[in-house]
Amino acid sequence: MKWEQLIRKNGKKLETLGINLKGVNTIKFRGKESFSHRVVKLVICHLLAKAGHNFKTEQPIKDNVCDIIDLDSLIVYEIETYPNSTIIYKKLDDFLHPYIEDLVIVNLRKIDYDWVPVYCLRDEMAKCCGLTRE
């Protein structure tokens, strides 16, 4: 969605949620995130951008910080390694707001993917860039 359309459609809602447009469509990582968490965050952001959506990462909402919020649809994406019922209910409570349209919890354990090639790519890139800890 173009800036003018985004502001026209969701500007007041974003303002009420405390979301400004600084850092839109940039990916922020937290120090404690695992490599797989960061890869999935990157993939979700890539898919949102490819769909023409604007997003923010590590966005404070209601005294909590969400992994990703789609600013066009106001859907929050949370990436979790072990999302048990306690965590799920906490996330629902954390991001429950009349303007948040939905909460998608991505369970890393349920992603049926062989991560070995991704880790090999990471290690190869580290070598190419001289960022290894050998």
Q: pLDDT-derived band of residue 49, with 50, 70 and 90 as boundaries?
A: very high
Q: What is the pTM of this model?
A: 0.92
Distance CA 76, CA 57 (A): 10
- Helix or strand run (H / E) with residue 55: strand 55-61
Which run of H or of E encompasses 35? Answer: helix 35-50
What confidence tier does 88 reach under pLDDT thresholds 50, 70, 90? very high
pLDDT-derived band of residue 132, with 50, 70 and 90 as boundaries? confident
Mean pLDDT throughout 89-106? 96
Would you state the pLDDT for residue 133?
A: 60
Average pLDDT over residues 14-26: 94
